[in-house]
Amino acid sequence: MEKLKFLLAGNPNVGKSTIFNHLTGMKQHVGNWPGKTVEQKSGSFEFDNYDIEIIDLPGNYSLTPYSVEEQVSRDAIIHEENDAVINVIDAENIQRNLYLTLQIMETGANTILAVNLLNYAEDAGFKINLKKLEETLGIPIVVVDAREGTGLNELVRATIKAANHPKDCSSRLTYGFELDDHVNEVKGLFPNLKIGSAPDSWTAIKLLEGDDEVIDIAEKSSDKQNLQKVNNIRRHLEGILNDNVDDAFINARYAEIDSIMKICVKKPGAGKKTLTDKIDDIVTNRILGIPIFLIVIYGVFQLTYTIGGPFQDLIDEAFTMLIDSITPILGDGLASSFVLNGVIGGVGSILTFIPIIFILFFLLSLIEDVGYLARAAFVIDRAMYKIMGLSGKAFIPMILGFGCDVTGIMATRTLANESDRISTMLALPFISCSARIPIYALFTAVFFISNQAEITFGLYILGMIVAIIVARLLKRTAFSEESAPFIMELPPYRLPTLKSAGLHMWERGSLFIKKAGTIILGTSIIVWLLGNLPPGVEEGSVQSIIGMFGNIIAPIFAPLGFGFWQAAVALVFGIMAKEIVVSTFGTLFGVGEDGISTVLPSLFTPLSSLSFMVFTLLYVPCFACLGAIKEESNSWKWMGVCVVTCCVIAYIMAFIVYQGGLLLGFT
Ligand SMILES: Nc1nc2c(ncn2[C@@H]2O[C@H](COP(=O)(O)OP(=O)(O)OP(=O)(O)O)[C@@H](O)[C@H]2O)c(=O)[nH]1
Ligand SMILES: [Mg+2]
Confirm or deny that 10 is annotated as ligand binding: yes
Confirm or deny that 15 is annotated as ligand binding: yes
pLDDT of amino acid 485: 44
Q: For 465-475, what is the mean pLDDT? A: 85
Flag whether 273 is in a domain.
no
Which residue, by CA, sits nearest to atom 30 of ligand 1? 147
State which ligand 1 atom lies nearest to the alpha carbon of 146.
31
Same domain membership, residue 162 and residue 184: no
Asked which of 171, 191, 226 is the last residue of a domain, the reply is 171
pLDDT of amino acid 163: 94
pLDDT of amino acid 393: 62
Say how far apart CA 483 and CA 415 lie, in whole Å: 10
Flag whether 271 is in a domain.
no
Asked which of 171, 206, 233 is the last residue of a domain, the reply is 171
To test the pocket of ligand 1, the residue of 14, 16, 18 to mutate (highest count of ligand atoms within 8 Å of its CB) is: 18
Residue 405 to residues 363, 425, 630: CA-CA distances in angstroms? 18, 9, 13
Confirm or deny that 187 is annotated as ligand binding: no
Which residue, by CA, sits nearest to atom 16 of ligand 1? 30
Same domain membership, residue 322 and residue 192: no
Reported as a pLDDT band with limits 50, 70 and 90, residue 515 is confident
Same domain membership, residue 523 and residue 414: yes
pLDDT digits (tens, 9 = 90+) for 434-455: 889 999 999 999 999 999 999 9
The structural domain count of the chain equals 3
Reported as a pLDDT band with limits 50, 70 and 90, residue 416 is low
Q: What is the 3-state secondary structure (H, E, C) of 97-165?
A: HHHHHHHHHHCCCCEEEEEECHHHHHHCCCEECHHHHHHHHCCCEEECECCCCECHHHHHHHHHHHHHC
Domain assignment of residue 97, given as a range = 2-171
Same domain membership, residue 614 and residue 465: yes
Higher-confidence residue of 540 and 195: namely 195
The phi and psi torsions of 143 (rounded to 5 degrees) equal -85, 130
State which ligand 1 atom lies nearest to the alpha carbon of 494.
1
What's the CATH code of the domain at 120?
A: 3.40.50.300
Residue 271 has pLDDT above 50, yes or no: yes
Same domain membership, residue 204 and residue 59: no
Flag whether 437 is in a domain.
yes
Q: How far is CA 148 from the centre of its chain?
A: 24
The per-residue pLDDT of the chain, averaged, comes to 87
List Cβ neighbours of 189 (8 Å cut-off, separation of 6 or more).
223, 226, 229, 230
Flag whether 284 is in a domain.
no
User: From ligand 2's centre to the CA of 56, what distance in Å?
Assistant: 7
Reported as a pLDDT band with limits 50, 70 and 90, residue 272 is low
Task: Determine if ligand 1 sits within 6 Å of the CB of residue 256.
Answer: no
Reported as a pLDDT band with limits 50, 70 and 90, residue 643 is very high
List Cβ neighbours of 444 (8 Å cut-off, separation of 6 or more).
451, 452, 455, 456, 613
Residue 409 has pLDDT above 80, yes or no: yes
Flag whether 279 is in a domain.
no
Asked which of 266, 301, 326 is the last residue of a domain, the reply is 266
Q: For 460-484, what is the mean pLDDT? A: 78
- Greatest alpha-carbon span in the chain: 93
Residue 487 has pLDDT above 60, yes or no: no
Least confident of 78-92, 242-256, 351-365: 242-256
Same domain membership, residue 239 and residue 295: no
Residue 483 has pLDDT above 60, yes or no: no
What's the CATH code of the domain at 188?
A: 1.10.287.1770
Which residue, by CA, sits nearest to atom 7 of ligand 1? 15
Task: Determine if ligand 1 sits within 6 Å of the CB of residue 31.
Answer: yes
Residue 601 has pLDDT above 70, yes or no: yes
pLDDT of amino acid 486: 45
State which ligand 1 atom lies nearest to the alpha carbon of 10.
19
Task: Determine if ligand 1 sits within 6 Å of the CB of residue 371.
Answer: no
Flag whether 491 is in a domain.
no
pLDDT digits (tens, 9 = 90+) for 530-551: 888 888 888 778 889 998 999 9
Residue 484 has pLDDT above 60, yes or no: no
Flag whether 489 is in a domain.
no
Residue 164 has pLDDT above 60, yes or no: yes
Same domain membership, residue 315 and residue 193: no
Give the dihedral of Cα atoms 228, 229, 231, 234; nearest 10 deg. Answer: 180
Confirm or deny that 16 is annotated as ligand binding: yes
Which residue, by CA, sits nearest to atom 4 of ligand 1? 147
Same domain membership, residue 337 and residue 262: no
Q: For 258-277, what is the mean pLDDT? A: 79
pLDDT digits (tens, 9 = 90+) for 214-239: 888 888 877 777 888 899 999 888 88
Specify whether the CB–CB gap between 351 and 591 falls below 8 A: no
Same domain membership, residue 91 and residue 228: no
Cβ neighbourhood burial of 50 (10 Å; 0-12, 13-18, 19+): middle
Confirm or deny that 25 is annotated as ligand binding: yes
Same domain membership, residue 164 and residue 43: yes
Q: Shortest CA distance to 290 belongs to which of 421, 483, 34, 468?
A: 468
Per-residue DSSP letter, 386: H
β partners of residue 71:
none
Same domain membership, residue 183 and residue 165: no
Same domain membership, residue 328 and residue 421: yes
Higher-confidence residue of 367 and 558: namely 558
Say how far apart CA 106 and CA 129 lie, in whole Å: 23
Q: For 62-91, what is the mean pLDDT? A: 87
pLDDT of amino acid 654: 97
The ligand placed nearest to the CA atom of residue 414 is 1
β partners of residue 265:
128
Least confident of 43-47, 198-202, 492-496, 559-563: 492-496
Flag whether 455 is in a domain.
yes
pLDDT of amino acid 29: 66
